[in-house]
Every structure is written in C-alpha cells, then in structure tokens.
Chain A
Amino acid sequence: MPFIPHTEDDIRSMLATIGAPSIEALFDEIPPALRAKGLDGIPPGLSEMEIGRLMSERARRDGRPLSFLGAGAYEHHIPSAVWAITTRGEFYSAYTPYQAEASQGTLQVIHEYQTMMASLTGMEVSNASLYDGGSAVAEAALMAVRAHRRSKSLRVIVPSTVNPDYRRVALSTAGNQGLRFETVPYVRDSGCIDLAALGAYAGEDIAALVIQQPNFFGQLEDVDALTDWAHAQGMLVIAVVNPTSLAVLEPPGDWGAKGADICVGEGQPLGVPLSSGGPYFGFMTTRLELVRSMPGRIVGRTVDLEGRAGYTLTLQAREQHIRRGKATSNICTNQGLLMTAATIYMTLLGPTGLAQIAEVSLARTAQLVAALTRLPGVQVAFTGPRFHEAVLRLDRPVAGVLRALEAQGVLGGVDLSADFPELGPALLVCATETKTAADIERYAAALGQALQASRAA
C-alpha cells in the first residue's frame, strides 16, 4: 500500500482499541445507498520506477525549443541554490505559519521578502504574496475600491495596454462584486495610453487608474504624468510592474509627485520556472496608511515572553478566518514556496545582479529587434523607449509564420491578432539574458526563411 505504513498486526490491534470489527465498520454512519461502487475509472497503481519512466517520456516529448515568448512569463536563469533550498522538506512540507513558534523559518523568510519587495517597488509595506499577477491585479482593484475614501465608486480604469489576460481575470474576479472596468485605447505610434482619451474621464467619479509599466507591448508609459493626472482627479493609482525591470526603472513609489498607491505584479521572473503557467506568485505592496485594506497574509516582527525578537502573522483582523463574510478577501493561502524561491533569488542576485539582468535583457531585446527588422517585411510597430519586449509587424499572417518557425525549433513570439486585431499581423517578442547572439541569429535566419516560404506559397 503506497504511503500507508500499517501492518496486519497494527490493523488488528487498532480495531481492538476502537472496538470495531473491521475498517469497514468505521463507515457505518454513511447511508448504504450512498456508498461508492469502486473506482474502476482509475488505472491500477504504478511503482515509482514506472511513473518515473512515464513522466520522463512525456517530458521528452514536449522538448525544449528555443523560445522568444514573453507576454507575462519570462525565461531567466535560476541559480541552482534557489530550488535546492526551496524544496528542502522544512520549507516544502510545512503548513501556513499559524503556530509561530514552530514556523520562525517561514515567517522570517516572509519578513525578508516583504522588505525586499517594498524596497524594490519603492513602497512602504508588502503582503506575503497572492496567487499570480492576474489575480493580484483583481485584488488591487477590489482594494482600491475599499480604500477610496472620497466616494463609493466601483469604476476602475484599465487601459488596453494592460495585459489582456489580467483584464479578463480582474473581470471574472471582481465583476461579481459590481466593479466596472473602463478601457482606454492606446496611441497607434507609441503603443502607450492615449492621454486624450483618458482625459475624457476628467472629473468623473472613479476609484482608480491601472498603469502597467512596462506595458503589455513592452513599451514604457509616461508614468509620472499619468500618476499626477489620476491623483488630480481623486483616483488611486494601481501600478502593475515587472519586478526585474525595477532594478533599472523608476519604482512606483516614486511615480509622479506622490507615487503610486498600490503596486502589484507577476513575481515569476524572480526565480520561478515557467512551468506551463504556474505555480507563480503575485506580489502586492502599498503605502503604510492603506495596509489595513490590503488582502493576504502579512508578517510582523515582535518580541517573545523573554524579550527576544521573533516573527508572527499580524493584522489578521482583516482575514477570512476571523472576519468570515466581512473579510477583505477570501484568500487563505499565499504562494509561500514561490515567495521563498523569490527571496533566495533576490538575495543571490543582489542589487548589482538584478540590475545587470535587467540591463542585459533590455540590450538583448534591442539586438533582437535590430536583427529581425533587417528582414524585408518586418517592422517594429511602436516608437519610443521599451524594456525587454517589442511588437513587430509582419507582412504575412502571423500564425503560419509561427508554425514554420516551430518546425525549426523556434518559438517566435506571441501572436497578437486575437487580442489586438487593429494591429494587423503582429508579434510580441522577448529576449532576456538567456538568449545569446547566436540564438538571435538563429531566430533571424529562421524567420527570414519562414517569411520567404510564406510569400512563395
């Protein structure tokens, strides 16, 4: 019996202590009509060796193509120490740190994580993480509506330069509570928020403006002007940021005259493997005065009976197990293990390493854009500064080009035609520090061939 240690003697003696004739008798309170008839649809069990073979075969089938995909999940080198430590049983198999005395390791990691995230984003406080970037945007919108003191407005502006999947998650999550999301278009030249269109909302009763930086296209928004404009209208500002970029980009706490109010984002670039989309973690930081409106776990430093420093979950009066129906959120867990990995990652990289990762990623993307736009029929879609992603316009339909690239072992980017049909055939590409000059040449050669083949067909 896998993972069940009982011997026949154990079973006999335990049943005797209980005073039950059989294990079956322990289920005698369940109405017989409800009893399961067996689990015929489940295959017979496998030994560890057999499941190992099966999984290795399936993994091999998926392969490891050369990838230039980004759009919210980014390939970065992960130091070996990150997951060697994160998967230690003491972190991996521990529960949420409710028993603080027996969980000081996890609690201190969270406190160090909170310190790093608050500083990286230029904010004062951080929670212990949320599910992922998309759900963090949804939670930030709900929090902004709660924290917005001037009115009870349920409207939040989410420009079309915010990751479309984040917009979908926000709607599925917060729509049931009556939140309404207003969309603002982008300028066709710059790929940035259309300030004139945004200006139409001046004077309206709106809880918050969401600003993604770098935006979904990889372009850099004029965050200072946007933040000041929103604050002048009495709106809160929700910043959605890439944590790697913050090593070189102005942190949300410094945006405009007063800084953003809530900062969220996808934490995956900080040492979390791509892994088909999860588990990742969302981060959330804010100003101290808004901390009681923030959802999720928060760890504080305090003292024990003997005056020694120690760590504990705090501000729990906001949470579901105390407040039940009146809680700030139904969130029960954070993404503890991923947050642990991110803390170790940020420690190993330090301010120097993280800045170099950001710089090299930006430089590689610039090289990629230069190499690809040398090809006939490939143009960069937007002018202006960008981070480590760019939108390219092709003169052929994107789907066929991507299939041809895939046949050559290259994942060439994300097809934007479904979410942004107005762009025509457009491709979102990304290169991080993991891409070498040779990788970029290989992509350029493959794209040249694919376009040529497409024109000939």
Chain B
Amino acid sequence: MNQTLEKSIFEYSRPGRVAAAQLPPSGSEGAADAVRAALPEALRRRKAPLLPEVSELDAVRHFTRLSQLNFSIDTNFYPLGSCTMKYNPKACNQYAMLPEFLARHPRAPESQGQGFLECMFELQEMLKEVTGMSAVSLSPMAGAHGEFAGVAMIRAYHRARGDLARNEIIVPEAAHGTNPATATMCGCVVKEIPVDAEGDVDLAALERAVGPNTAGIMLTNPSTLGVFERKIGEVARIVHGAGGLLYYDGANLNAILGKVRPGDMGFDVIHMNLHKTFSTPHGGGGPGAGAVGVAARLEPFLPVPIVAHGEGGYRWLAEAERPQSIGRLSAFMGNAGVLLRAYVYMRMLGREGMSRVGEFATLNANYLQARLRDAGYELAYPTRRASHEFIVTMKKQARELEVTAMDIAKRLLDHGFHAPTTYFPLLVPECLLIEPTETESKETLDAFVEAMVAILAEAQADSAKLKGAPYTMPVRRLDDVRAAKQLELTWKPPQAATMAG
C-alpha cells in the first residue's frame, strides 16, 4: 500500500476559487440584495466560515485519494467479529437510489409514496417471519437505537401494568457495551451476571439475580463468545417466572438466520442490525438500521411510525393510532434509504437464500476455527461448535513471547487483511473475535490462515518485528495518548497551529 498521506483539503484552498458549476442558476443575481433587505444587520453573519475554496477536480481527487487509504469489504477480507462484514450487493444500493425514491420528501402524502410504503410493509412482514415475532417497527436508526427502543418498551410494558418497581436489567458479563449503556439511558439499573466455563449463562447466578425488581434480561444468542446459549429455554423460564421479559440483541442474528427464530426461543423483544444480517453498508460507521420486533403483548408500545395496509392502500400509523407507543425516535421515519437496501437484499435472497445465510456463515466459521486450531492457535472454547464467529486467545503468546492480540491484529493489516475484533469480549484475555461471514470463499479463508501461520512463526522468531507492525499502511501505529491529551480536533492553518502549540 504505502501511499503518502493526503494533505488536508484546506491546504488546497485558494481565496476566490470556486467550483462554478455548483453555484445557483443565473437569474439569481438580486438574491444578495434581497438578503440585505430582509435580514437585520444584527442577525447576519459577519465572517465567512472556514470552508475550502477549491475546484471540482481538486475536490474529486482529494476525496478519491482519501477513499484509497481505507480498507473496506470491497477491497479486503474483513473478519471483524460481531460486525458481520459481508458483501454489500451493488444492486441494493442502485435500486434504493432510484431518483423517485431519493426525491420523495418525508412529509409527502402517503398517496405519493405507495411504492415506497409497499416495500416498507413487506420488509416488516419478512422481518416478522425470519424472527418469529408478532410485529415490527422499522424506525430505530442503529443497533443501539433499536436496543434503546427495546428496553424502553420493556419499561413501558411494566408501567402500563402498574408494575412500577421493575427497573433492573440483567446483562451477562460478555454483553456488548451498548447493552448496559442502553439500560442506563432508559433509567434502569444494570445487574451483570457471569457465564460458566463453557460460555453458557450461569443459571444459579441468574436465579439469584431475578426478583420483583427485574424488568428483563438482555441476551445475544449466539452469545458474544461465539457459541450458542444452550440453556436458553431455562433462562426464559427463570426470567419469565420472575415476571421479567427477554430482550434479544440481534447482533449475531446472521448465525441462526433460517435455523432458529428468537421468537421461538422465548424472546419478547428483539432488535435487528439490518447493517449486519441484511447486508446494508456500514458506511465507515453508519448509517445503520435497528428495526425492532416484539411479541404480541408488547405491540402497543412499538415506536412510531409503523406501516399498515388497508383498503386505502399503505399508510403510516402514528401517535394517534398508537397512544401507548414509546413515541418517536427520529424526526421522520428512520433510515428509509437503508431500509430499502435491506428490502432489496431480502427479496434477492428469498426464502431459500435466507436459510443458507446461517448455514454458510457457520460453515465458514467452523472451517476457519478448525484450521487455526490445527495451526497452533488456542481456542477460547475448544469444546464448542463455532457459531458464525469464534474466539482465539493469545494469552500464552502474551506470557511467553510478550506478543499481544493487538500485535497480531496490526500485523494482519500488512498481509492485506482487516484485523478481527480485538479485546472483545472483555472476559477472554488477549482475544481475537473472528467472523468470516458466508460471502467469503474457501480460497480467501485459506489465504487468511496462511497469513496467521506466518505471523505465529514471526512471533516466535522475531517478536520485535511483530510489535512494530503495521509497516505497509499509510501510517504506523498512532500515538493515542497524545491524541487525547493534546487535542487537535479541527484543522488549523500551520502558523496558527505553531502559535497555539
């Protein structure tokens, strides 16, 4: 790779340069006068904002070059555990970006959006079918937003029954950080419980944790440890028995798509990461989409709007039709364009394709797990089947060679592979969480194993080399401590930066 770093867009800027084709059409000449006439002096901006003054070609080249500094699914294998970095089909993007879909205003009447609304209604129906839930709302805009909606519904459900003491959310210690953060955002108290040596929830600890204050439990299944929670039936009995509800974090839904449905496992509320399981793009950190599904008793609390179908066609249900709703989570109706991409993906896969997702995601993970084990990597849960992902622990290498999981991760970049998730889940020391997804070929997985073999050999022969990785990226390891202490959060002209420093 070895690109030289691209300078800041502000360094290309020259006073008075404009991308003239982007200025408003001629015939607008009097506009500036109209502004002066309409706006009192005190309300007007006095100093122009710091925006670049560049040509269109400058801009295109700069941002194209920046794109080339990134790893992405389109350019590299991206086995990032818990993130489901599968191929994002180009058709999903193209057909979500048809001009009429892009131009539709969120407040356009339903009569001017029947095509769009039909897609949304069918998406709700398909998501109900694959998850085994009774009703779905598409409005949450990310996984964590869906989590928020889910826990808020659990609270609203208990409150509506006059069950006001239930404010405790139980979370296994392996859970995503968003789970406890969400519970706090919903005004709940978090109770963490341990898992046993084989990765299942510690049932005795769960029995002790539940009680009259239990609002619910948040679980990911397969769990973040990369294994199926085998005692899910007992967990459901214990939590339901105590009057609590079960929340399913859909982060790992890809593992079981078409094989097991959260609704059949006893879950009352779920969120789905459409940007994982249903292949909408991650976009360098969003937009996501975190649709929520619920069992019948929670349906009145779903966030609005929801699409309904009746004699007059498709229409939105809002606060008036859903008085018990937890309300509106976005100004309009969520990440509609992302939802269209998920719709296209699900229709292309269809019922046969959908049930193969879980199968081949699981086949790839178990294959990679077997090959890495045979190559000398220690598995965190060697007695278990991998789900769609699995954990390797480098604790032995860390002790004997002072080589960490982070070193392995950084060295993989030099081999052209994105690093697996590192140091998550927190309870497995020096871990790499590896998720290949179903869209990768055997050749790619084999090439990844070869790189891992080479890295392990290097760890034994020349650990200092390994600890200096990466060498071929646009930058070497970055000084994170300096970044947090000497805050440089905006670009400053060179002389100003010197003066401030």
Q: State A422–B287 Cα separation when bound (angstroms).
A: 38
Q: A400: which B residues are within 8 A, CB to CB? A: none
Further pairs besides A56-B95, A366-B34: 6, Cβ < 8 Å: A1-B352, A109-B63, A301-B483, A322-B177, A330-B182, A357-B24
313-371 of chain B: CB within 8 A of chain A: 319, 326-338, 340, 344, 346-357, 359-360, 362-364, 366-367, 370-371
Q: Tell yes or no: B300 within 8 A of A by CB.
A: no
Query: Which residue of chain A lies nearest to B109 when distances are taken between CB atoms in the complex?
Result: A406
Q: With A325-B183, A329-B185, A411-B108 given, is the CB distance from A31 to B70 under 8 Å?
A: no
Q: Tell yes or no: B88 within 8 A of A by CB.
A: yes
Q: State A38–B126 Cα separation when bound (angstroms).
A: 13
Contact call A312/B483, Cβ cutoff below 8 A: yes
Contact call B190/A301, Cβ cutoff below 8 A: no
- Which of B205-213, B259-267, B457-465 contacts its partner? B259-267
A 78-108 to B, binary, CB cutoff 8 A, 1 in contact else 0: 0101010101111111111101111111101
Q: B59: which A residues are within 8 A, CB to CB? A: 81, 344, 347-348
Q: State A340–B64 Cα separation when bound (angstroms).
A: 12
Q: Tell yes or no: B476 within 8 A of A by CB.
A: yes
368-420 of chain A: CB within 8 A of chain B: 385-386, 402, 406, 411, 414
Minimum CB–CB distance for A433 against chain B, Å: 4
8 closest pairs, A vs B, by CB? A45-B350, A277-B332, A89-B74, A58-B115, A337-B283, A172-B327, A277-B106, A134-B331
Contact call A406/B327, Cβ cutoff below 8 A: no
A-B contacts, 24 of them at CB < 8 A, read A3-B349, A42-B129, A67-B103, A77-B22, A85-B67, A90-B75, A91-B284, A99-B413, A99-B418, A104-B5, A109-B66, A131-B145, A166-B331, A172-B328, A177-B185, A277-B331, A302-B486, A305-B476, A322-B177, A336-B284, A338-B287, A351-B51, A356-B23, A360-B31
Minimum CB–CB distance for B354 against chain A, Å: 6
Q: Tell yes or no: A263 within 8 A of B by CB.
A: no
- Which of A119-127, A181-189, A197-205 contacts its partner? A119-127
Contact call B101/A276, Cβ cutoff below 8 A: yes
Minimum CB–CB distance for A28 against chain B, Å: 7
Query: Which residue of chain B lies nearest to A299 when distances are taken between CB atoms in the complex?
Result: B489
Q: Tell yes or no: A246 within 8 A of B by CB.
A: yes
Q: Tell yes or no: B141 within 8 A of A by CB.
A: yes
1-44 of chain A: CB within 8 A of chain B: 1-6, 10-11, 13-15, 17-20, 23, 26-31, 33-36, 38-44
B 201-233 to A, binary, CB cutoff 8 A, 1 in contact else 0: 000000000000000000000000001101011
Query: Which residue of chain A lies nearest to B148 when distances are taken between CB atoms in the complex?
Result: A330
Contact call B126/A42, Cβ cutoff below 8 A: yes
Query: Which residue of chain A lies nearest to B332 when distances are taken between CB atoms in the complex?
Result: A277
Contact call B346/A119, Cβ cutoff below 8 A: no
Q: B130: which A residues are within 8 A, CB to CB? A: 39, 42
Query: Which residue of chain B lies nearest to A17 when distances are taken between CB atoms in the complex?
Result: B370
- Which of B37-45, B239-247, B291-299, B391-399 contacts its partner? B37-45
Q: With A35-B259, A169-B331 given, is the CB distance from A411 to B475 under 8 Å?
A: no
Contact call A5/B439, Cβ cutoff below 8 A: yes
Q: Tell yes or no: B473 within 8 A of A by CB.
A: yes
Q: With A101-B473, A103-B70, A112-B10 given, is the CB distance from A347 to B52 under 8 Å?
A: yes
Query: Which residue of chain B lies nearest to A308 when distances are taken between CB atoms in the complex?
Result: B475
Pick the contact of A26: B261, B281, B344, B362 (CB < 8 A). B362
Q: Tell yes or no: B253 within 8 A of A by CB.
A: no
Q: With A95-B83, A330-B181 given, is the CB distance from A277 to B330 under 8 Å?
A: yes
82-136 of chain B: CB within 8 A of chain A: 83, 85-89, 91, 93-95, 97-109, 111-116, 118-119, 125-126, 128-130, 132
Pick the contact of A163: B52, B102, B331 (CB < 8 A). B331
Q: Tell yes or no: A46 within 8 A of B by CB.
A: yes
B 62-81 to A, binary, CB cutoff 8 A, 1 in contact else 0: 11111111111111101010
Q: B50: which A residues are within 8 A, CB to CB? A: 115-116, 119, 351
Q: B382: which A residues are within 8 A, CB to CB? A: none
Q: A277: which B residues are within 8 A, CB to CB? A: 106, 330-334, 336
Q: With A115-B490, A302-B488 given, is the CB distance from A3 to B86 under 8 Å?
A: yes
Q: Tell yes or no: B402 within 8 A of A by CB.
A: no
Contact call A349/B329, Cβ cutoff below 8 A: no
Query: Which residue of chain B lies nearest to A406 when distances are taken between CB atoms in the complex?
Result: B109
